[in-house]
Structure 1
């Protein structure tokens, strides 16, 4: 009897531990944050959801989501570009509909069939496909880009609408694309591990979904490899950090590169808060 009870408790703990919408990034999806430490709670919105983005039996990246504005505040991931294809489908988060629904992202049609619900039900706490149709001069802008992920499954996981903001088309196809595809590889050269946090500053709304005033990104570079009997721990020595920010308005097509400290100060001003901290100890040597 005692053995059976212990097995039941263990099963319960395992279910809780693998939940996708989690209560804290300090205990879940920590692998996507430098020193297993997320940004300070100053960036947390009032109606927040912390999502361990789960696809094909693995967590792919982490997202702080604003259920009121229906856009991500930020997505955190490890920069590891590789070969693969883009998804033809867009996904939504079942556990933002009902916490008892399954954890893996899926298409709206699949979720509607499975749970006998409508698109309106799905869209209560998140953006849906209809929100991004017929946008003028705005694209579905990834915070965690598919191009920064290593394989098909990881790339397809970025096509969840909880990782998307309405992004200025000129910026998305111009300077921000250049930053993602050309500047990042240059800056991350010689890094064994590069932690990235990319976010959006909310501003005006476009129907149900907020259109950010700015898009920003920060990276933390770690170098050096420690070998152990089991394997290795890559990127153990933080050597540098950098940031980028761009206005997401009009025909703006300019990205400003700046150091991490300046980015954090600018974000503190834009969010109207005090002391935004994106990486523990500013990603410095500990």
Structure 2
């Protein structure tokens, strides 16, 4: 339940102090430092009430003893993103600040529920949670919890339990410190973006099976990019496996690993490539199953980010749609000289990639065993010279 405050002033100085603007109504969620401006002007009572009712569940909520059952049952498709962090602990405080950033970026996303639990508020529950979820609450933890069967997948800092790892199959260059390609199963509908970033300690030789939050990357970065490499670089983090192509919270979180992105020119990332990702989503959502491979062609002549991370020269994507027991493939490559994404046949994309990498990316794939098809699977031989 929300408690709403409305500030009205007829004095310019007071309005300025409160950061009020003429003919504007701002809506604050819990934990949010910045408001969401209610759309539609002039405002009518029904407009304001409708907006508040549509936003009556904050993106980020703290589990309190007096309201824990109400919050826990108010799930999204039976799931919550659950974060354990002690506010009094420096690591927990830093982790909570990341959660606030995520909630701020997703404040208008109705399909995202993040619950923050401070273990200090529930001392008698800590042993139960550690046993049930298989986690160590002496450090911050984050994961997806299914409230119906209590199944979990946690991305954490502990090394002695099962946790989430990136769901796509990726090949990463430790020389370029960017991914070469990412292969994934397309998912629809997508659930919205979560802007927390993770690194993979395994790439730097640490014996740790889990991704690690961006706030805990001390001593990491020998073989991979860090969040700091992108700061003030003028480049965006260009996803190979985009959140637009995910269908559950765990896959969504996996897209936010820094091994799933490469430095992409901001204009291309925010325009032509975004339009392409949205078009792919529309093309593939009617498929029975759809498989996608997305890759990066590095620009080895351009200056590196922080003299460490190679930037992307081109992005490419190949899709395979299974529908009515038939397969259809398509290729994409960009930016072209007009800054757009080209649409290619798989054969032409294969030739283009062979010119760049000097290897064949798409060898022939046989049909699945004991699964006869009405029409044979698309087969392109690995002769890239023709």
Q: TM-score range by the shorter chain?
A: 0.5 to 0.7
SS where residue 273 of structure 2 aligns? helix
SS where residue 293 of structure 2 aligns? strand
User: For residue 208 of structure 1, what is the aligned residue in structure 2?
Assistant: 308
Aligned counterparts, 1:87-236, within 5 A = 87-100=194-207, 102-110=208-216, 112=217, 118=218, 121-136=219-234, 138-181=235-278, 183-204=279-300, 205-206=303-304, 207-224=307-324
RMSD of aligned C-alpha atoms? 2.5
1:274, distance to aligned residue in structure 2 (A): 4.1
2:173 to 59, 66, 70: 66
Aligned partners of 1:210, 1:278: CA distance in 2, in Å? 27
Aligned partners of 1:213, 1:59: CA distance in 2, in Å? 24
| Structure 1 length-normalised TM | 0.66
In structure 1, the gaps of 5 or more residues are 1-54, 113-117, 225-236
Distance 1:268 1:187, change over 3 A: same
Aligned partners of 1:160, 1:58: CA distance in 2, in Å? 10
Distance 1:76 1:279, change over 3 A: farther
Encode CA deviations 1:140-195: one digit per residue, 9 max, x unaligned: 110000110002221121010000101111111111111111x2134325411110
SS where residue 350 of structure 2 aligns? helix
Distance 1:106 1:248, change over 3 A: farther
Distance 1:170 1:65, change over 3 A: same
Distance 1:245 1:132, change over 3 A: same
Distance 1:94 1:239, change over 3 A: same
Matched, 1:262 2:369: no
Distance 1:162 1:278, change over 3 A: farther
2:327 to 219, 227, 239: 239
In structure 2, the gaps of 5 or more residues are 1-161, 367-375, 381-386
- Answer with 273-282 or 185-194: which moved more: 273-282
Distance 1:66 1:254, change over 3 A: same
1:80 to 151, 175, 187: 187
Return the structure number with greater relative CO, CA threshold 8 A, min gap 6: 1
1:61, distance to aligned residue in structure 2 (A): 1.1
The structure with the largest helix share of the pair is 1
Larger gyration radius, structure 1 or structure 2: 2
SS where residue 218 of structure 1 aligns? strand
| Structure 2 length-normalised TM | 0.49
1:219, distance to aligned residue in structure 2 (A): 0.5
User: For residue 284 of structure 1, what is the aligned residue in structure 2?
Assistant: 378
The structure with the largest strand share of the pair is 1
Encode CA deviations 1:72-105: one digit per residue, 9 max, x unaligned: 00011111122423223210001112252x2121
Aligned counterparts, 1:36-47, within 5 A = none
